[in-house]
A and B are shown apart, each in its own frame.
Chain A
């Protein structure tokens, strides 16, 4: 599908800001709705930023004034551990927020809806790399909220004819990720190591995740908007990397070793995760292009450039 106008929720965020840049580079007119203004490194001068909560009634007005062809719905509360402590707060953002965006989309007749979901929605999958045909058994409120979003999309397709795609992201990393937050191991390791701080190793350090570079995720989002299929599609690398191996990559990119503090008490609800990318390959002609080692080096270089 070709389109002129896009609205990106969460466009001031890490992934959103990269997506916004790619859309602008394609000549798309972009409006961002986000809870916050973008920081300077995430701002794109050709984009209109609307700063409010996606749950606000003003969202519908904005959607109607912009009349976007495509909505990329990335805004969410993404802290999995926080969602366990406060599931209602998470649902306020991710379920009520998503429904508000969906309602505005159907009322305004948006042609394509791309939803950022998560690979964590599979829960403890028996098959790794996990294909989309696997039954989802989400174990945290965050994972449930994302699966719920997907189900709402399917239901909006049935009832209102909405065209949608849900992308189950693996663990996304890259420049602009905030290393001061709870999530984003590469960002956290890099920031702390560059600041001369110690690094926490949760559990035994052997938890595995599928780390995918943000530029690959952006390409996947663009391909999802171009497609007309209404499906759930994984975006990952199909590779598992342990926390300890990941730290080694960061250490070698920086050229210095971290002081490691073992945190044996922190339990990861999902121990191993990697997403099959066969469906993305066949349906979207998409593949992850950034090898992890190279991606980590680029990411480290970006953090260094900001020192």
Chain B
């Protein structure tokens, strides 16, 4: 297959590209190379260093005529979406809509959208949260993801392109870094703090939970979606909630040393509890998470120390 991966030089994208190349696919990466310090290039992939909203996208698709698109690139910060919801919507709705249209026009028959279970379900009282048709996201970021899923559902009847939305839990693992803004997932932030010798900050009392999917498992979910014709919306999670305190404790355990910890007030717009029921992923795609939190955390810790740790 010829597959376009937006955000293909980033964290999840680069792992996906490596796996797609390894299994004999032709891969085109669309990535604007702006967010993180490190981007990851697979020498066998064709890389276009542009945003997925770039004008030249239509020509690239017309020339390449890919079979499938995996849309990973996005404005990914919940906090930034609260500060500037217009920018968030510009990227995650409007430019993403344009991408679908361009793909459909170029004869692409599969569109895989990486959505967000945590941001869409918000603080849902039922945990693990099953696949829900309706939700009230707590942030503009979540609203935009939810909206785009709806657009894709509507397009099923209009375009010859089969869309599927994967509502991911929180993905973690090697190559996950702090963004240029200093933001990132909680593990990347904690690891960076440890390396910099600064105290780790927990927002809230440490009891907030997340469902962490190891990046290799996240990649398997996308590969399973590429291999199937299933349309609609699917949950991709482990069904297990890990508290922020547990994340800190696990990292400390791996690190072998207690690092200073401070608690600060919980940030508005952030989800408190998020655990995703993986039943639909299992039923629709035959997917399930295989890597435990501890095992994944060890791999991420090792990668982080190797790339950002102090050499001595």
Footprint of B on A, CB under 8 Å?
84, 87-88, 91-92, 95-96, 99-100, 102-103, 135-141, 143-145, 147-148, 151-152, 154-155, 158-159, 269
Contacts and interface: CB of A to CB of B under 8 A. Distances in A.
Contacts of B154: 138-141, 143-144
A135 B150 CA distance: 12
Interface string B127-156: 000000110111110111011001101100
Contact of B97 (A91, A143, A158, A269): A91
A180 to B, nearest CB: 27
Contact of B85 (A84, A103, A144, A154): A103
Contacts of A91: 89, 93-94, 97
Given A88-B101, A141-B154, A155 B134 contact: no
Contacts of A137: 133, 150, 153
A40 to B, nearest CB: 35
Nearest to A140: B154
Interface in B83-111: 85-86, 89-90, 93-94, 97-98, 101
A92 B94 contact: yes
B101 A155 contact: no
Contact of B86 (A100, A139, A143, A144): A100
A99 B268 contact: no
29 contacts: A84-B158, A87-B151, A88-B94, A88-B98, A88-B101, A91-B94, A95-B94, A95-B147, A99-B86, A99-B89, A99-B140, A100-B86, A103-B86, A139-B154, A139-B157, A145-B147, A148-B93, A148-B146, A148-B147, A148-B150, A151-B136, A151-B146, A151-B147, A152-B85, A152-B140, A155-B138, A155-B142, A159-B82, A159-B139
A84 B157 CA distance: 11
B301 to A, nearest CB: 34
A158 B101 contact: no
From A135, A148, A155, name the one whose CB has the most chain B CB atoms within 10 angstroms: A155
A11 B101 CA distance: 33
Contacts of B89: 91, 95-96, 99
Contacts of A87: 97, 101, 151
Given A91-B94, A151-B137, 10 more contacts: A95-B89, A99-B85, A99-B140, A100-B86, A135-B133, A145-B147, A148-B146, A151-B146, A152-B143, A155-B139
A96 B94 contact: yes
Nearest to A84: B158
B269 interface: yes
A147 B150 contact: yes
A56 to B, nearest CB: 12
Nearest to A157: B136
A6 B128 CA distance: 44
A238 B161 CA distance: 36
A306 to B, nearest CB: 38
Nearest to A152: B143
B85 A158 contact: no
Contacts of B150: 137-138, 144, 147-148
Q: Which 10 pairs of residues, A with B, have the shortest CB-CB distance? A: A148-B147, A144-B150, A151-B143, A135-B133, A135-B134, A154-B136, A159-B269, A139-B154, A99-B86, A99-B85
